A = this chain, B = another copy of it.
Amino acid sequence: MDLDLIRKLTVPSESKIVFLVMDGLGGLPREPGGLTELETARTPNLDALASRSVCGCTVPVGPGITPGSGPGHLALFGYDPLHFVIGRGVLEAVGIDLDLGPDDVAGRGNFCTIDNQGRVTDRRAGRISTETCVRLTGLLRDRVRLPGVEFLVEPVKEHRFVLVLRGKGLGGELSESDPQQLGVAPLDIHPLSSAPDRAASQRTADLVNEFSAQARRILSGEPAANAVLLRGLDRRPSIPTMAEVYGLRSAAIAVYPMYRGLAKLVGMTALPSGTKLADEFDALEKYWKDYDFFYLHFKYTDSRGEDGDFDAKVAMVEEFDQFVPRVMNLKPDVVVVTGDHSTPSLLKGHSWHPVPSLVYSPYCRCDGTAKFGERTCARGALGTFPAVDLMPLAMANALRLTKFGA
């Protein structure tokens, strides 16, 4: 749905919406003819909720398209992930809890090894330790001098770091210096043909190239990490906030920084929480009065799927199920249970499969789905439908959208 239309139809309300997001929720049977992880799991609370809900399976980006976490979450929040594209650098930055301003340009960096001819011999510098990464980013932070801009160099993990340029007149959509192969020199960075402001992007490319050149001099004595490669350099996308579009005071409860970061990109407040699932529900209860919309993220369904551990993913779903009554005790007006994409343990990674989803409210027109699972949801009244439709449906069920036209 067009966000402008939703914005125009939004009306004030006291109603509260909760999105319970199990990362990578959808799955596949272990063997042909079997049950998926979710279908295998004993989920009495989710099943009871499904029977009071309208159910369906969401398509995060499009048929056959396997979404990354960024696109998957934007779709859940109602933002077309083909329109709002998040660069890798931005995602990496929000993933380490860096707050990006609208003018910042963020890129993902690798320490790498080059030989005395300047040719890359190891794109990951032998996967240096995170400690070394912390030391080297400190070195670059102290010694690099860039004219007219601030910059941040922050360690991520092992050979990975984030570079943020901060200042006026910067531009995004830059090429990358990583040649993606060995035996050739790092590439010069230049604006992509799609860059909206070529002059600003050229200036930014010049600054990044200068950063890389200085880094090479500063690191020349290092045994492995003697140069840097940069990619995914872009500004953060210009996204209207949840407050602007939906009139919602919205909050995120998520353990991993990347998901808090994604939520902050659309204007949510990231609430403090411990790292256990019980802690996340504690936070929900604690801040219940202060917000209209809660996004609660559970990471480990995805993690166990990525591990290829079917039984462990089943156990994660069962663990989550036990907390559903605590949500219902808060008397939310609308509850959505869904995932940002599927992560079948059979595939050990994200997949294109639609994601089982339910929308509960007193007005949802429940469809009699008795069990929360892939096949039962696909036969639900919502059928197989775009994930971006969840927010308008939740808003409608919260009685927060007025009539279109007379």
Binding site for B on A (CB under 8 A): 1-2, 5, 9, 28-29, 32-33, 36, 52, 57, 61-71, 81-82, 85-86, 88, 91-92, 232, 344, 346-347, 349-354, 362-363, 365-368, 374-375, 378-379, 381-385, 389, 391-397, 401-406
Contact = CB atoms under 8 A, between A and B. Distances in A.
CB-CB nearest 10 A-B residue pairs = A64-B392, A64-B396, A68-B405, A378-B381, A63-B389, A71-B405, A352-B396, A68-B406, A64-B393, A383-B383
A65 B406 contact: no
A67 B403 CA distance: 6
Contacts of A5: 62, 65, 82
Chain copies in complex: 2
A71 B402 CA distance: 14
A256 to B, nearest CB: 14
Contact of A32 (B92, B344, B362, B382): B362
B85 A405 contact: yes
Contacts of A92: 406
The binding surface of chain A is classed by DSSP as loop
A350 B67 contact: no
Contacts of A378: 367, 381, 383
Contacts of A402: 66
A363 B346 contact: yes
A381 B406 contact: no
B52 A32 contact: yes
A302 to B, nearest CB: 13
Contacts of A353: 365
A62 B405 CA distance: 13
A65 B32 contact: no
